[in-house]
Amino acid sequence: EGGATRDALNEKPPKDFAVASAAQTSKNTLGRGAVIHTTMGDMTVRLYPDECPKTVENFCTHAGNDYYNGIIFHRVIKNFMLQTGDPLGDGTGGTSIWGREFEDEFHRSLRHDRPFTLSMANAGPATNGSQFFITTVPTPWLDNKHTVFGRVVKGMDVVQMIENTKCGKDDKPFDDISIVNIRVLMEAPSAKE
């Protein structure tokens, strides 16, 4: 009798079971929207956790940890986009919640086909960190290069005000415009709210 016992506490679940459980838990805690409070006003965004769960998890976790609080819009290009999410404020910084760059999550239904698209800034394939941008026009040349993970549904006027701010040669606004904080919403927002 002195052999090892097999009991359920020592039995590891099959890999596919563990992955499915983790994915289900993660999806249940991901936000479906967010309010980005800026020094120029509020923007409400709808997020797409089903299509790009890692990107939305990264964004929502950073928002919940106040990572984005006080970060400036360091790059604003009229008729293109507004970029933020870099704690250094110059486009060279920022990290993901995992402490390393993470892969892109492209989805055929999420394209840069309209203004007010929320997308990850990167330095090439699989180099996502914390920086993101909001387009102000359709930018189809960015498809399959940057992960689209949301859309502005309210506060387009705020996006346009930021877009129209005066900038220097480096596309940095002369007067700092920053994120005050980001509040994650568990329900998908609509433009009517």
Nearest to 165 by CA among 41, 44, 67, 36: 41
Q: Which of 30, 59, 83, 151 is catalytic?
A: 83
Q: Judge whether 111 counts as a catalytic residue.
A: no
Q: Which of 116, 132, 133, 149 is catalytic?
A: 133
Q: Judge whether 181 counts as a catalytic residue.
A: no
Q: Which of 74, 142, 149, 151 is catalytic?
A: 142
Q: What are residue 35's DSSP bridge partners?
A: 44, 183
Q: Which of 75, 116, 118, 132 is catalytic?
A: 75
Q: Judge whether 133 counts as a catalytic residue.
A: yes
Helix H, strand E, coil C: the string for 4-15 is: CCCCHHHCCCCH
The alpha helices in the chain, defined as continuous H runs, are 15-29, 53-64, 156-163
Q: Judge whether 160 counts as a catalytic residue.
A: no
Q: Which of 80, 106, 111, 183 is catalytic?
A: 80
Q: Judge whether 131 counts as a catalytic residue.
A: no
Q: Which of 32, 46, 146, 151 is catalytic?
A: 146
Q: Judge whether 116 counts as a catalytic residue.
A: no
Q: Judge whether 74 counts as a catalytic residue.
A: no
How far, in Å, CA of 60 to CA of 66, rounded? 10
Active centre residues (catalytic): 75, 80, 83, 122, 133, 142, 146
